[in-house]
């Protein structure tokens, strides 16, 4: 492992941190409009979810796909955040949007397409916010940790890594969720790590199983896409679960997280 001063564990720092509860981030891929977002938040809040995801700047492969509500989305996030007293996780694409995102987000997400975007990393390294750093689609663990080091070097060590699947030859699933990295990260670094089974599989019928697997591998939590009507979602519907599915996944995760605690070395 390359020398990284900020993120790697000090030698004799191996005793497990006390485990609190899992970090569960849920919500739609994109904020689509006020009503759908509110309906989703209301449901998730009732489930017990504190952190709500919702993209307003969407990095889309095609310039012709829905690019997010942008400024309009900021307003929606702002009012729903107050009304429901929730914490917001949302992705920053363009460093010129950092001020407006900081205003409403409790966790700033750096998406997998931007893991090598060093100017963006440095900028969020100066922000006084927790950063959710997703793994690049073909980033090695070392490159990922180096990206975290870029952020940490600017003074911000509130970094949560998020494994979201890597690109391999297998095409049956959208990506290959690499859970090997979870115990590696827990053993070698000071960072938290959560897992995104939505992008990590691309198929909603695999999300319950892979969420459980993530927790069993030692992850600190999960991030999952939830939509009231996945088939109608403007982005990533095929990998979003509906309310009923999420309710059961949530219960499973919380239970397993508590059960598994003592088994993790």
Ligand X SMILES: C=C(OP(=O)(O)O)C(=O)O
Restricting to residues 65-104, which ones interact with a copy of itself according to CB under 8 A? 93-96
Give min distance, CB of 97 to Cu ion, in A: 18
Instruction: For residue 199, give both structure tokens.
Output: 């992008």
Q: Pick from 118, 129, 158, 242: which binds a copy of itself (CB under 8 A)?
A: 118
Using CB under 5 A as the binding criterion, the count of chain residues that bind Cu ion stands at 2
The H or E element containing residue 109 is strand 107-110
Give the residue, chosen from 180, 229, 232, 261, that forms a contact with a copy of itself under the rule CB under 8 A: 180
Which of positions 25-64 make contact with a copy of itself (CB under 8 A)? 59-64
Q: Whole-angstrom Cα distance, residue 198 to residue 260? A: 22
Q: How far apart are CA 41 and CA 246, in angstroms?
A: 13
- With CB atoms as reference, the residue minimizing the distance to Cu ion is 29
Using CB under 8 A as the binding rule, the residues of this chain from 208 to 237 that contact a copy of itself are 208-210, 212-218
| Cβ contacts of 167 within 8 Å, gap of 6 or more | 137, 138, 175, 176
Distance of closest approach, residue 14 Cβ to ligand X, in angstroms = 30
Query: Which segment (8-16, 30-38, 74-82, 160-168) binds a copy of itself by CB under 8 A?
Result: 160-168
Q: Pick from 18, 119, 128, 231 the residue near a copy of itself by CB under 8 A.
A: 119
- Residue 93's contacts (CB-CB under 8 Å, 6 or more residues apart) are 57, 58, 59, 111, 114
The single residue listed with the structure tokens 């997010």 is 68
């Amino acid at each position: 492992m390359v020398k990284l001063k900020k993120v790697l564990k000090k030698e004799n720092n191996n005793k497990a941190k006390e485990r609190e509860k899992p970090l569960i981030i849920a919500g739609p891929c994109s904020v689509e409009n006020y009503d759908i977002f509110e309906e989703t938040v209301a449901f998730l809040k009732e489930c017990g979810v504190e952190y709500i995801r919702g993209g307003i700047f969407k990095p889309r492969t095609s310039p012709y796909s829905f690019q997010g509500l942008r400024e309009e989305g900021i307003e929606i996030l702002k009012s729903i955040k107050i009304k429901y007293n929730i914490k917001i996780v949302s992705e920053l694409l363009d460093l010129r949007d950092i001020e407006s995102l900081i205003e409403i987000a409790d966790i700033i997400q750096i998406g997998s397409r931007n893991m090598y975007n060093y100017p963006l990393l440095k900028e969020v390294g100066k922000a006084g916010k927790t950063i959710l750093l997703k793994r690049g689609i073909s980033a090695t663990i070392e490159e990922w940790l180096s990206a975290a080091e870029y952020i940490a070097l600017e003074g911000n060590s509130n970094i949560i890594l998020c494994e979201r699947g890597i690109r391999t030859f297998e095409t049956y699933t959208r990506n290959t969720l690499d859970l090997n990295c979870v115990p590696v990260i827990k053993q070698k670094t000071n960072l938290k790590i959560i897992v995104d089974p939505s992008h990590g599989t691309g198929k909603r019928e695999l999300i319950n199983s892979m969420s459980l697997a993530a927790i069993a591998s030692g992850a600190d939590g999960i991030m999952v896409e939830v939509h009231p009507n996945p088939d109608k979602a403007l982005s990533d519907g095929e990998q979003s679960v509906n309310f009923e599915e999420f309710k059961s996944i949530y219960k499973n995760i919380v239970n397993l997280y508590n059960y598994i605690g003592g088994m993790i070395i």
